[in-house]
């Protein structure tokens, strides 16, 4: 009985207005059978975490092209830990230099995808991590 | 598993947000034990007004919901929102985008928003949505707002679910006939013409008004038609007033109990349909008899109607 749909929250923290990438990923995840809660542009880390808790998602995907990822992404990771939601898979993407990627993975991100990643890779990564 | 269900039920009744969030997933996924969960919270269900907003994609439902929730929360009400978007019939996935227009509400005390995909429901609301309402009512909210995309069956389902239904329209989406045939006229308690700064808003509002005046003459409530520019906040306060007026009118005329009964009947019917499907249709699919029936239908020996009867009665 019943099926466990994968629910993903896709959000863009911060001030950049470029959401093409986030939308492409959202569509790819939908096409892979997932339910994607798309929250749009310019969200604060507080809003993102609060929405993720109410929507009970297994995955949060953040996108940033503004360069402010170190601060904003980190804040999301901290809030999740503070509230006891380390079980949520936390991933990110956008224009993020390699040294920052490593840093973010150290503060709680499961994976930061680099530009040029295929959507299939993101889909299979999520499926593998969530369904085990 | 029993423990998990008890823990969820306890948390929901105690008003814990995390328990409500997990409980909603539990009933949405129809995890084993979901019936026990519903059973344990059911005695704690407290009825509260349920408002529905429906209309075609892009007419401004979420922007309007955002305003209503914001205003009611400012009056220190606790509000539960259910925003329903369609599941893709091809992939089974969904993009739930109603939060885009409601993000200012995220994180605010006393507001709980859940985006739900329509999932298996054949164009209408899924039984899980009825169950979600029960969970909200056990959790303890003062009011529930349900937002659905008005295409097909979900329009009529929303009437059974909500006490008050607002139909949201906008000018420029088709001719007069579209307005009549969509079946929207019969279901609204309130009609809102959004984007009223666009050409054609007057005409649409006038048309609605004239058609509504000929709707069931013996009704006590005459559905108002309101023109809005939701993106600029224009006239949204009037819409809120109309919602409150309609609620008062329901309470006065005793219709509220009737609505509640209708809702409960609908919930029972939906659960039965799902059970019938599990019990009868599920086990038939792909069996030898099933294949035989399909072959016979393909060869035009017997009709699908004949085989449906045959498969149900079990004899050949």
Three-state secondary structure call for residue B143: strand
Q: How many CB atoms lie within 10 A of CB B12?
A: 27
Range with top average pLDDT, A75-89, B153-167, B219-233: A75-89
Query: Residues B247-305: pLDDT tens digits?
Result: 999 999 988 999 999 999 989 998 898 888 888 888 898 899 999 999 999 999 999 99
Query: What ipTM was reported for this prediction?
Result: 0.92
Q: Inter-chain contact B91–A30, Cβ cutoff 8 Å?
A: yes
Cβ burial, residue B104 (10 Å; 0-12/13-18/19+): exposed
Residues of A with CB below 8 A from B106's CB? 39, 43, 46-48, 50-51, 54
Q: Which residues contact A121 (CB under 8 A, 6 or more apart)?
A: A113
A55–chain B Cβ distance below 8 A for any pair:
yes
Contact A1 B31 (CB under 8 A): yes
| Terminal CA-CA length for chain B | 42
Phi, psi of B5 (to 5 degrees): -65, -45
Q: Which of A35, A40, A56 sits opposite B103 (nearest CB)?
A: A40
Record: contact B103-A53, CB cut-off 8 A? no
Amino acid B270: pLDDT = 87
Domains and CATH numbers, chain A: 7-131 (3.40.50.280)
- pLDDT tens-digit readout, B3-23: 899 999 999 999 999 999 999
> Given an 8 Å threshold on Cβ–Cβ distance, is B94 in contact with A53?
no
Question: Does residue B94 carry a pLDDT above 60?
Answer: yes
Given a cut of 70, is residue B28 above it in pLDDT?
Answer: yes
Each residue's pLDDT tens digit, A8-52: 999 999 887 788 889 999 999 999 999 999 998 888 999 999 999
pLDDT band at B122 (very low <50, low <70, confident <90, very high): low
3-state SS, B239-275, equals HHHHHHHHHHHHHHHCHHHHHHHHHHHHHHHHHHHHH
Tokens of B175: 């001719």
Residue-wise pLDDT tens digits, B168-184: 999 887 656 666 665 67
All residues of chain A having their beta carbon less than 8 Å from the beta carbon of residue B92 are 5, 33
Domain ranges for chain B: 1-43, 45-254
pLDDT band at B314 (very low <50, low <70, confident <90, very high): confident
Is B274 part of the contact surface with chain A (CB cutoff 8 Å)?
A: no
Instruction: Give the class (CATH, top level) of B45-254.
Output: alpha beta
| Residue B246 scores a pLDDT above 60 | yes
Q: pLDDT band for position B240 (50/70/90)?
A: very high
B18 contacts A53? CB cut-off 8 A: yes
> Cβ of A43 under 8 Å from any chain B Cβ?
yes
Confidence (pLDDT) at A1: 43
Contact flag A36-B99 (C-beta cutoff 8 Å): no
Chain-wide mean pLDDT for chain A? 91
> Within an 8 Å CB–CB cutoff, is residue A1 touching chain B?
yes
The reported pTM is: 0.91
The CA-based angle B98-B129-B57, given to 5 degrees, is: 35
Of all residues in chain A, the one with the smallest CA distance to B81 is A54
**What is the average pLDDT score of chain B?**
89
């Amino acid at each position: 009985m019943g099926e466990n749909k994968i629910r993903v929250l896709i959000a863009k923290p911060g001030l950049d207005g470029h959401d093409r990438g986030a939308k492409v990923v959202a569509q790819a995840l939908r096409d892979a059978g997932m339910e994607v809660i798309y929250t749009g542009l310019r969200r604060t880390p507080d809003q993102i975490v609060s929405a993720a808790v109410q929507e009970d998602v297994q995955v949060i995907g953040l996108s940033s092209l503004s360069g402010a990822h170190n601060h904003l992404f980190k804040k999301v990771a901290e809030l999740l830990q503070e509230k006891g939601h380390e079980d949520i898979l936390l991933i990110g993407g956008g224009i993020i230099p390699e040294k920052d990627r490593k840093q973010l993975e150290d503060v709680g991100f499961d994976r930061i995808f680099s530009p040029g990643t295929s959507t299939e890779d993101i889909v299979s990564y999520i499926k593998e991590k969530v369904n085990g | 598993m029993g423990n998990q269900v008890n823990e969820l039920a306890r948390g929901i009744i105690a008003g814990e947000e995390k328990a409500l969030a997990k409980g909603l997933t539990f009933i949405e996924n129809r995890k084993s034990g979901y019936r026990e969960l519903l059973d344990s919270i059911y005695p704690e269900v407290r009825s509260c007004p349920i408002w529905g907003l429906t209309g075609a994609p892009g007419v401004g439902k979420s922007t309007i919901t955002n305003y209503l929730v914001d205003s009611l929360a400012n009056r220190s009400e606790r509000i539960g929102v259910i925003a329903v978007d369609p599941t893709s019939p091809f992939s089974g996935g969904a993009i739930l985008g109603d939060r885009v227009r409601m993000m200012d509400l995220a994180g605010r005390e006393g507001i709980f928003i859940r985006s739900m995909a329509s999932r298996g429901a054949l164009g209408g609301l899924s039984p899980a949505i009825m169950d979600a309402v029960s969970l909200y009512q056990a959790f303890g909210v003062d009011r529930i707002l349900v937002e659905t995309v008005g295409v097909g069956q979900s329009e009529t389902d929303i009437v059974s679910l909500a006490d008050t239904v607002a139909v949201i329209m906008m000018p420029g989406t088709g001719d007069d006939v579209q307005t009549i045939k969509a079946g929207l006229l019969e279901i609204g308690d309130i009609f809102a013409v959004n984007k009223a700064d666009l050409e054609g808003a007057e005409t649409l509002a006038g048309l609605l008004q004239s058609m509504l005046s000929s709707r069931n003459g013996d009704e006590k409530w005459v559905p108002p038609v309101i023109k809005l520019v939701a993106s600029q906040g224009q006239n949204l306060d009037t819409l809120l007033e109309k919602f409150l007026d309609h609620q008062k009118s329901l309470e006065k005329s005793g219709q509220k109990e009737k609505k509640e009964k209708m809702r409960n009947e609908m919930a029972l019917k939906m659960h039965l349909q799902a059970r019938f499907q599990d019990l009868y249709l599920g086990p038939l699919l792909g069996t030898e008899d099933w294949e035989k029936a399909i072959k016979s239908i393909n060869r035009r020996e017997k009709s699908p109607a004949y085989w449906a009867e045959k498969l149900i009665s079990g004899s050949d």
